[in-house]
Amino acid sequence: MTDETSKQTKQTELSERLALLKKNKAFIIGASILAFWVFSAIFGKLVARYDQDFADYESISSSPSLKYWFGTDSSGRDVYSRVIIGSRIIIVISFLATLLGAFIGASLGLAAGYLKGRFDMVLMRILEAISAIPVIIIALLAVAAIGRASSIITILIIGLIFTPNVARTVRAAVLGESELEYVAAAKLRTEKTAHILFREVLPNVLPTLIVEFTVRLGYAIFAVATLSFLGAGLEAGSPDWGTQVADTWSLIFSKIWWPTLFPSLAIASVAVSINLISDALLEVFEL
Amino acid sequence: MSTNNIPTLELRSLEVAYTVRGIDRSVLRGVSFAIAPGEAYGLVGESGCGKSTAAFAAMRYLPRNGKITGGEIFFEGKNIVDIDEEDVAQLRRSAISMVYQNPSTALNPTIRIGKQIAEVFELNGVSSSDAMMMAEQALTRVQIADPARVLRRYAHQLSGGMAQRVVIAMALASNPRLLVMDEPTTGLDATVEAEVLDLVRELRRDTGTAVLFISHNLGVIRNMCDRVGVLYAGALVEQGATSDLFSNPSHPYTVGLLRCIPRGGLHKSTDRLDTIPGTPPALGLKFDGCVFVARCALADDKCRTQLPQMVTINVAHVARCFHSDKASSLPRSVEQIEYAPQVTGHSTKVGDALLNISHLSKVFTQDGHKVRVINDVSLTLGVGETLGLVGESGSGKTTIAKLLLGLTPPEEGGVVTLDGKGLAKTLNRRDVADVGAMQIVFQNPDQALNRRHSVTRIVGRAVERLRKFSLANAIARAHELLSGMRVDASLHSVRPVQLSGGLKQRVAISRAFAGAPQLVVCDEPTSALDVSVQAAILNLLVDLQKQDKTSFIFISHDLGVVRYISDRIAVLYLGRVVEFGTSQRVFNGPFHPYTEALLSSVPNIDGSTRKRIPLTGSVPSPSNPPSGCVLNPRCPRKAGSGYETLCETEEPNLNEVEPGHFMRCHIPMAKLKQLQS
């Protein structure tokens, strides 16, 4: 039957899109940068040249050289190795925070978009109130309340702050989906609401959710870096990028720019790589 | 050559390709045709065959991923393939206009109608005060009543037919020498379609504009065009004078296309529809021989390996086929279901009462107003019978379906009984047996099938829930249903996106039959499909009905289809049943004036002309129905009937005018018969 040919064409669609993705410059650059950082986060010790706490008291605040590629900081520690090692903390925390925000946001967005009515109205007003709270102020308040910075608290706060955005995006997609007749068809075989939400509607809003997730992940990197720069994000003394910048930025005035520049570049490169990937996904999959 | 012989538009061996996902795919394959000044040329073919691409290419208006890869386009003797954008813009401003399929998206929603039309005049150098005046004249020309008021309106305040008139007025504003009309009446009701077509015909007579008319509807083409070209897979396979081509089709594709239309008088009880087996080739496929070879019953080795050239049938009638002399004797395609009957313990004699709807009403609240969209509808349907619901859009057809299925609760007092058992008003109060007993096939299978689920899961889950089968048994039964409905086993694991429109609808039908239903509501099940696929789906439904004694409620705006499949017909207007009876009674007359107008507006495929009974004005809003008979302001038979006062003051009842034939009209049967003869 000729229907076979139509089947074959459609099956090659995904591979054609993937081929396009592989040719997409933004994706290649973004994915390469991100792959490097993810590799560093997992196998940091292999890429780093010194231990994160190794201090060379002979060369304190030495400028970039063959021995210390990114120079050393005011304690004589290798900036390059600390940037590599520091990737793990920021990537893991940002990822977990975004995952939390996406999970809660998607659940609420699904319910609001599908159930509509009063539930939707009340929930969306609450979420709007949450999104009006500045993230930095809550984080500082939390540190003040419990007396120290904690990565768990950071994850919870960023997750909470992201919830309204994710919920709004998912809700908008669900509003359109729930009008489609496959939802009526599911009701016409006596499906429960939970089944319709999670098994019927959710898979169809997944592409939207994935793109929203990558966008949020980019913001999360910035948020975690900002909080740790302020000393409100992570446990004291952690070798993450935000803390490194916080510890060293005042040296810029003494022309010692390298301990600040390289962690800052690292933050920017991760955020940019994630944005490049989400742009490429949007383009290739025509979302 | 004198200037008179220069065609307005001529395509010579035009090749167009679209770049899709990085690969060039050819869409038009050497299309050549010419349109003389004042001539109307029709392009027909199923979806995806390149009709619109040909039109866009002729206007140099291809989408960004499209490009002309070969051939020439001449506009009044000048090759416009290579002219620059500025000249193209000048051409579109002054010489070529286009009317698109969807009038509501062709108009800017934020600009008043008057300003939009005036803009066209201003572009051609008219002062803005004169332009507004000319805009009013333009509206008068397209027969819009009260043009001054329409000028001040926005697009969303116009009905579909009005909006299309405005678009036509804009297209004609520049006095174009070529008018391209791409499915100009496709989204419109039959009555409105007929009016718009009448208008186009009149304007063409007055202006002498050449028209390139694109439609999938052969009846419309037959009535509108002087010459016709048939496109298949981007190739022109046949071309000729309209009456010649329709009476003596000489390409197997044209023959097949004409045969699969449920035309005048065919009925499921005696006639089986022809189909064209297979599906059109995928975009950009390469051919060594004839493009139609995979679906042609006459194909031989020569067709597979050699490209056929145009063969002259008679003067100006050509067909691209090696076997054009045998085309009219194309073997009929026969396709049977292989489907295990359902086991049901219900009443089983065809014609026994099954469904009884009494006093069904529905009131929606819209902007604080109560709108009665369904008003006291009572209908009956027997076992194994089909009830056709017809009426213009907004008449309440789909709402009735939703009320029956329990997706929307009816008002107090409405009772629906199925097989003697009263049904709960809402779906969640019905038990599984009741839910399974009444199912629906939706219009658009793309929306009705979850695109993230496999075909097996879609049907299997319905069997599992509705018949309480174990998962393994449900899957086995799903496969049995699907294979029976000719969805090949190799396709059971794929997702709907990988299926053609016809196959998707077969999956949707399989799902509707999962719960061994007694009644299936078919809501425009074939209107999103091409005619050849439509025929196959109608055959399938008829086979299923014969085998399972399933009853159907068949909703369609296509009266030919309804007539073919229905045993009883209910004609709806403004949420009321205005005529109800056996198919034969309703279609043979005497007719309710509304039914009469509906029937007369359908363009005939056999080319016979009959007098059109026009309905004046548009459907009134159900929030403010006219007093008396709701049809009276538009009724074609009110004036001169002698019942005018009664019609305007008192709403008629649905009376039994002859055994099994009900009508809601003050004018007595004998009088109607006399008026309609």
Mean pLDDT for B130-138 is 91
Q: What phi, psi does B365 have (nearest 5°)?
A: -100, 120
Residue A3 has a pLDDT of: 42
Q: Do A181 and B442 touch (CB under 8 A)?
A: yes
Peptide bond into B590 cis (omega under 30): yes
Residue B340 has a pLDDT of: 63
Residue with the two structure tokens 């804009």? B170
- pLDDT tops 80 at residue B264: no
How far, CA to CA in Å, does A250 sit from each of A41, A254, A264, B607?
Answer: 27, 8, 14, 90
Residue A1 has a pLDDT of: 35
**How is residue A109 written in tokens?**
């967005």
Range scoring the smallest mean pLDDT among B331-335, B389-393, B475-479: B331-335
Residue A6 has a pLDDT of: 44
Inside any domain, residue A275: yes
- pLDDT, one tens digit per residue, over B27-43 is 999 999 999 998 999 99
Chain A CB contacts of B23 under 8 Å are: 16
Percent of all residues in chain B with a pLDDT value above 70, rounded to a whole number: 96
- Distance from the Cα of B448 to chain A's closest Cα (Å) equals 4
- pLDDT tops 70 at residue B663: yes
Supply the DSSP string of B529-552, one letter for each residue. S-HHHHHHHHHHHHHHHHHH--EE
A147, with CB counted inside 10 A (0-12, 13-18, 19+), is: exposed
Q: Do B295 and A2 touch (CB under 8 A)?
A: yes
Domain with CATH 3.40.50.300 in chain B: 8-225, 384-408+427-574
- pLDDT tops 90 at residue B448: yes
Range scoring the smallest mean pLDDT among B104-108, B422-426, B648-652: B104-108
What CATH number corresponds to the domain at position A244? 1.10.3720.10
Q: Do A204 and B451 touch (CB under 8 A)?
A: yes
Residue A286 has a pLDDT of: 66
**Which of A182, A201, A208 is best to mutate for the B interface (most B CBs within 10 A)?**
A182
Supply the DSSP string of B514-531, one letter for each residue. TT--SEEEEESTTTTS-H
Mean pLDDT for B546-567 is 91
Q: Which residues contact B635 (CB under 8 A, 6 or more apart)?
A: B593, B594, B629, B647
**CB of B190 closer than 8 Å to CB of B174:** no
In DSSP terms, B73 is beta-bridged to B11
Inside any domain, residue A61: no
Closest-CA residue of chain B to A204: B452
- pLDDT tops 60 at residue B506: yes
Inside any domain, residue A169: yes
Which class would CATH give B384-408+427-574? alpha beta
Q: What phi, psi does B96 have (nearest 5°)?
A: -125, 135
Q: Do B278 and A3 touch (CB under 8 A)?
A: yes
Interface of B with A (CB under 8 A): 21-23, 278-279, 281-283, 285, 294-295, 405, 407, 427, 432, 435-436, 439-440, 442, 444, 447-453, 461-462, 465-466, 488, 490-491, 494, 497-500, 503, 511, 514-515
Closest-CA residue of chain A to B405: A188
Chain A CB contacts of B491 under 8 Å are: 3, 7
- pLDDT, one tens digit per residue, over B294-353 is 888 888 888 998 889 898 988 889 999 999 888 888 877 666 666 666 655 555 677 788
- pLDDT tops 50 at residue B1: no
Q: Do B450 and A203 touch (CB under 8 A)?
A: yes
**CB of B595 closer than 8 Å to CB of B578:** yes
Q: Work out the number of other CB atoms within 10 angstroms of the CB of residue B30.
A: 17
Which pairing describes strands B78-79 and B66-75: parallel, antiparallel, or unpaired? antiparallel
Domains contained in chain A, number: 1
* Boundaries of domain holding A153: 36-56+72-284
Which class would CATH give B8-225? alpha beta
Pick B282's closest partner by Cβ from A5, A188, A189: A5
A203 in reach of chain B (CB within 8 A): yes
Q: Which residues contact B213 (CB under 8 A, 6 or more apart)?
A: B40, B41, B42, B43, B181, B184, B221, B224, B225
Residue B590 has a pLDDT of: 87
| CA B349 and chain centroid, separation | 34
- pLDDT tops 80 at residue B516: yes
Inside any domain, residue A15: no
Residue B198 has a pLDDT of: 87
**How is residue A171 written in tokens?**
């809700």
A180 in reach of chain B (CB within 8 A): yes
- pLDDT tops 60 at residue B58: yes
Q: Reduce the DSSP state of residue A47 to 3 states and report it.
A: helix
Residue B609 has a pLDDT of: 66
pLDDT tier at B44 (50, 70, 90 boundaries)?
very high
Pick B449's closest partner by Cβ from A3, A6, A182: A182
Pick B435's closest partner by Cβ from A10, A188, A206: A188
- pLDDT, one tens digit per residue, over A205-215 is 988 898 899 88
pLDDT tier at B4 (50, 70, 90 boundaries)?
low
- pLDDT tops 80 at residue B53: yes
Please determine, for the modelled complex, whether the ipTM score is greater than 0.90: no
Q: Do A203 and B294 touch (CB under 8 A)?
A: no
What are the residue ranges in chain A where pLDDT is below 50? 1-11
Mean pLDDT for B362-366 is 87
Residue A248 has a pLDDT of: 83
Residue A269 has a pLDDT of: 93
- pLDDT tops 50 at residue B118: yes
Tell me the pTM: 0.84
Chain A CB contacts of B22 under 8 Å are: 16, 19-20, 23
